[in-house]
Amino acid sequence: MLHFTPTTLVEYLEQVFPQIKGDFTVLELAERQLKVKLNVQEKHLRPGDTVSGPTMFSLADVSIYMVIMAMIGPEPLTVTTGCSMDFMRKPAGGRDIIASSTLLKLGRSLAVGDVLIHSDGISEPVARATMTYAIPQKAKT
Amino acid sequence: MLHFTPTTLVEYLEQVFPQIKGDFTVLELAERQLKVKLNVQEKHLRPGDTVSGPTMFSLADVSIYMVIMAMIGPEPLTVTTGCSMDFMRKPAGGRDIIASSTLLKLGRSLAVGDVLIHSDGISEPVARATMTYAIPQKAKT
Amino acid sequence: MLHFTPTTLVEYLEQVFPQIKGDFTVLELAERQLKVKLNVQEKHLRPGDTVSGPTMFSLADVSIYMVIMAMIGPEPLTVTTGCSMDFMRKPAGGRDIIASSTLLKLGRSLAVGDVLIHSDGISEPVARATMTYAIPQKAKT
Amino acid sequence: MLHFTPTTLVEYLEQVFPQIKGDFTVLELAERQLKVKLNVQEKHLRPGDTVSGPTMFSLADVSIYMVIMAMIGPEPLTVTTGCSMDFMRKPAGGRDIIASSTLLKLGRSLAVGDVLIHSDGISEPVARATMTYAIPQKAKT
């Protein structure tokens, strides 16, 4: 049973991190699965209208954070402990980017999730990421 | 069009790396996709009959190497340049392990592939890996 | 021989990436070594006045990009291909963060660098990163 | 205060992992620092007498495991949770390889260490790694 709907999950995220208000839209949410769109804006771009690396990192980070919250309920002290990313192609100019995430492990104190990022409407992925999180111990009672 | 069948791919691998003869069986091979079984033996184990970390690294490494060879043909000088792995659960004792691999990028000089490793017959993954390879330039003609 | 001084290196960076103007100060530059300070501003923070993950990613990314440029000269098409980061401690509130970088490999087409990030004046590192870059082939002539 | 000397640390390692008996020599041990030599043998090699990837993984893995044990005392249930490696140069034929490790974080439940690997007597590193470990909770009392 999920603790959030797509709408309440974004509301919760924007309450915890007000700086990113309006940046993300949840497209699909299911058990251990999440699809999120980054609404690309001027601030996310690099020369050539390509989405910046830190923006893709942010999308991957937020995606796994949200799918963990959907699974365990609000636990704002959950923190990112690690990340590995591969940037494989230049994101297409003038398109939003979409992250498809899978939670591979949701343990007592550690969670691991995989993320594949595409430019909207283009099949070849632009980046992949694995994010790891530490879940505070009190979250487990 | 693939350059190898499951049988000729293992034969090629064992010719290039004679030390690992008999360790691997190709279960499925398709465009950018490969499923490989490690035939677990005494030398692959740690106390508790669990498969060792270096063995899982080796399985991931060999898997992406093989799927690249299947796509571009024999190019033995292709070398591993990077790896990220997450070890999520203890492999089950007394079971082989199986790697399901996807080649995410096959560029002119760089290839990137994702690997998910399971204990045979168990649905929760024991590890995940991303491997990157450098492909020698002459391979591209 | 380095292609830039600390001052001209930041000028070059801000010319290529105008969005980050004023964010970075080069503290030390030597053969394969660079120390960069991020001038922390409101936009870099998360609740609790802690520096955000994407900001630390950006600092690591920019650091290795700059040390490569210092070594090979302006080659704006150099792109990040991979990143691994570990977030080890919460950055201290109200302090800038400083990245100490070492270029471990500067090959014909690939570069690899290590980054250690500290809160200014605090000895325990807050994060570490390894960044990999692809250098366009024409850069080598 | 360290819980082991170089000699007792290797003895402890070989007791926990009998399969690697004779492979490793501790050259230097200090607070959060360890230098380990892999005594390269036939089983560690690939064609061209170069040390294999899984062997370098194993050296990095064992190195951080040992430095954690030296800091917290014998805690055999400490397990590797993650690894990122970059293979930067081919190890020189006919030489041992040496890993210089630094423990960057030793937290209540997570440890992170960096490893730089050289061929004995050669200054350019052949590989780098970051290893993360989970420390069982009872270890903290």
Taking contacts as CB-CB distances below 8 angstroms, the residues of chain B near A84 are 84, 130
Q: Is residue C58 within 8 Å of residue C24, measured between CB atoms?
A: no
pLDDT tens figures, C87-141: 999 999 889 999 999 999 999 899 999 999 999 999 999 999 999 999 987 644 4
C81 touches chain B (CB under 8 A): yes
Query: What are the structural domains of chain A?
Result: 6-140 (3.10.129.10)
In terms of CA atoms, which chain D residue is nearest residue B133?
D87
C-alpha to C-alpha distance for D133 and D141, rounded to whole angstroms = 18
pLDDT exceeds 80 at position D80? yes
Which portions of chain A are predicted below pLDDT 70?
138-141
pLDDT tens figures, D9-67: 999 999 999 888 999 999 999 999 999 999 999 889 887 788 999 999 999 999 999 99
C-alpha to C-alpha distance for C78 and C109, rounded to whole angstroms = 9
Pick among A85, A87, A105, A131 to test the B interface (most B CBs inside 10 A): A105
Cα dihedral D64, D70, D71, D76 sign: positive
C-alpha to C-alpha distance for C85 and C62, rounded to whole angstroms = 14
This prediction has a pTM of 0.95
Residue corresponding to tokens 């100490």: C100
HSE (side-chain half, CA atoms, 13 Å) at D78:
31
Which among C89, C105, C124 is the nearest to D88, CB-wise?
Answer: C105
* Gap from B41 CA to chain C (nearest CA, Å): 32
Q: In what order do the strands lie in the sheet with C97-106?
A: A24-30, A33-38, A97-106, A110-119, A127-134, A79-87, C79-87, C127-134, C110-119, C97-106, C33-38, C24-30
Q: Which of C29, C38, C23 is nearest to C9 (CA)?
A: C29
Which among C109, C132, C134 is the nearest to B82, CB-wise?
Answer: C132
Would you say the ipTM is above 0.85?
yes
Cα dihedral C111, C129, C124, D69 sign: negative
Q: Which residues contact B87 (CB under 8 A, 6 or more apart)?
A: B53, B56, B126, B127, D79, D80, D81, D82, D83
D19 touches chain B (CB under 8 A): yes
Residue B119 phi, psi (nearest 5): -75, 140
In terms of CA atoms, which chain A residue is nearest residue B84?
A84
C-alpha to C-alpha distance for D87 and B75, rounded to whole angstroms = 18
Which among A47, A58, A79 is the nearest to C16, CB-wise?
Answer: A47
